[in-house]
A = this chain, B = another copy of it.
Amino acid sequence: KGLQSSTKHVGPPLLTVLQDLGNIQNSKQRALSLFEWMMSPIKLADFFSNIWEKKPALIKRHNTSYYNGLFSTSEFDRILKEDNVQFGVNLDVTTYTDGKRETHNPPGRALPLVVWDYFRNGCSLRLLNPQAFSHTVWNFISVLQELFGSMVGANTYLTPAGTQGFAPHYDDIEAFVVQLEGKKHWRVYKPRKKSEWLPQFSSANFTDQDIGDPILETILEAGDFLYFPRGFIHQGDCLPDAHSLHITVSSYQRNSWMDLLEKLMPTALRVAAEEDIEFRRGLPLDYMEYMGVQNAELDDARRGIFLQKVSTLMKKLADYAPVDAAVDQKAKGFLHDCLPPVLTPDEKSHSVFGAPVKWDDGRVKDSSLQVGKDTKIRILRGNIARLCSERDSCLMYYSTENSRVYHKEEPKSMEVDCEHVDAIEYLLHSYPKYVIVQDLPCRTLDEKISVATILFEKGLVTTKESLNATT
């Protein structure tokens, strides 16, 4: 059940960690590095082998400043003042008292005066998607999502001393609880039955009678960390002497084999029926006489034959399953779910976002900079773009024009010329290595420069050297 050493666990401050990430060339390595810092001293190999999707893990660090800089109540206060936080949309006001869970959201904008009044009166404050308001949380999560291949989300929870804001329940996500301020008493319980391990959907609220005894009970203090898989019931309440602020980072919602199979099966069946006449033959004339729920108890030899035939066909389906196409559907969904990347200063200055072109003194300056045959380029991040084929065309989906607000933008894609497909694949597979434009697998130099320019102007590639007008 995790690490509970009694000595202080130290590590570099978050801002240093984030800055250092800029020196790592590969976005997945960046993500691993950040995740390791969050989970430290747990080793990642150990985590993914023995803990992930299996059991809770707890880290007591005796170091209240470990996570400093990620998020704070002061930043929450600033957000309330400066941003348009809406009750019920971005912020929930809740209580859980005497076994009763209530939501108290008034309509409209959540202004500090009103929000703090609820808090003083014992209400918990859940800020949804703090990444839309906090630049650091946005950065933190946009880095992590390169690791998971599944949307990474977050909520923050601010709870007054001596209160509880939520009933016991389980969620449909892997939960990483990062204690930021104060302390909180946590209890975690095993899934109640086999079918509730790794569930597809979150539970309703439970009562204490429903859930048995906790398998883990602890007091999280600032700097501590708690992980538990989806399906593990949990509840947390504040001690009388301290408020609590934590952020829960989450992932792997609807990201199981079943979710892939849901996309795969209909196309597998369509392909099988096209290729294999067995699937197209008529059903037996008399099958309704012995099949169907009303005949389930019948002792009829034809039932066995029918069931055997269905089973054979179902197993043959595997031979026709277009798995890559189904993965593309998942990938498209993931790219739509993603946060847009937060660029490092270096990434910015080597991309279209830092191009020196500007309006100056009544005219456009430096607009002539161009991608050339010798320019070295690579995709901005490993996971920000993906080639998918759809019917007769080839589309590139990308996450860079997403909004910080979940699904505020439609999925973004651009059609790709057949002649450019190989070049883009080459670029995607070369990451994190740079590619010289003239090495792109296109027929002509013009096409090589054209595809590189399109990607550069969309902000999807960075150059090794800064472009400048005289190149």
Contacts and interface: CB of A to CB of B under 8 A. Distances in A.
Interface of A: 48, 52-53, 73-74, 76-77, 81, 84, 107-109, 111-114, 116-117, 119-120, 147-150, 174, 181-182, 194-195, 197-200, 243, 252, 255-262, 264-266, 268-269, 272-275, 277-283, 285-289, 291-296, 298, 306-307, 309-311, 313-315, 317-318, 321, 323-325, 327-328, 330-331, 334, 352-353, 355, 357-360, 362-364, 367, 369, 382-383, 386-389, 401, 403, 412, 414, 425, 428-429, 457-459
Contact of A283 (B257, B275, B280): B257
A320 to B, nearest CB: 10
Contacts of A108: 401, 412, 414, 458
A114 B457 CA distance: 7
Nearest to A385: B294
Nearest to A366: B116
Contact of A77 (B116, B199, B359): B359
A294 B428 contact: yes
Given A112-B357, A414-B107, A257 B279 contact: yes
A112 B195 CA distance: 52
Nearest to A308: B318
25 contacts: A73-B359, A73-B362, A74-B359, A108-B412, A109-B459, A111-B457, A113-B352, A149-B286, A198-B281, A243-B363, A252-B282, A257-B283, A258-B273, A258-B279, A262-B269, A268-B314, A287-B327, A293-B325, A293-B328, A293-B388, A294-B386, A294-B429, A306-B323, A314-B314, A314-B318
Best-buried of A111, A286, A357, A403 by chain B (most CB within 10 Å) = A357
Contacts of A266: 262, 265
A331 B292 contact: yes
Nearest to A286: B149
A308 to B, nearest CB: 10
B313 A120 contact: no
A288 B331 contact: yes
Given A291-B323, A294-B429, 16 more contacts: A73-B362, A111-B459, A113-B457, A120-B367, A149-B288, A198-B280, A252-B282, A258-B273, A261-B310, A288-B334, A293-B324, A293-B387, A293-B388, A294-B386, A294-B387, A294-B388
A119 B365 CA distance: 12
A310 B321 contact: yes
Number of copies: 4
A112 to B, nearest CB: 5
A310 B264 contact: yes
Given A119-B364, A425-B294, A309 B355 contact: no
A411 B278 CA distance: 31
B260 A283 contact: yes
A364 B268 CA distance: 55
Contacts of A200: 273, 280
Nearest to A264: B310
Contact of A367 (B117, B292, B429): B117
A258 B282 contact: no
A318 B315 contact: yes
Nearest to A195: B274
A357 B116 contact: yes
A230 to B, nearest CB: 9
B401 A109 contact: yes
A314 B428 CA distance: 30
Given A111-B353, A353-B111, A313 B261 contact: yes
B277 A257 contact: no
Contacts of A119: 364
Contacts of A293: 324-325, 328, 387-389
A261 B256 contact: no
Nearest to A231: B280
Given A357-B113, A387-B293, A257 B243 contact: no
Contacts of A260: 283, 310
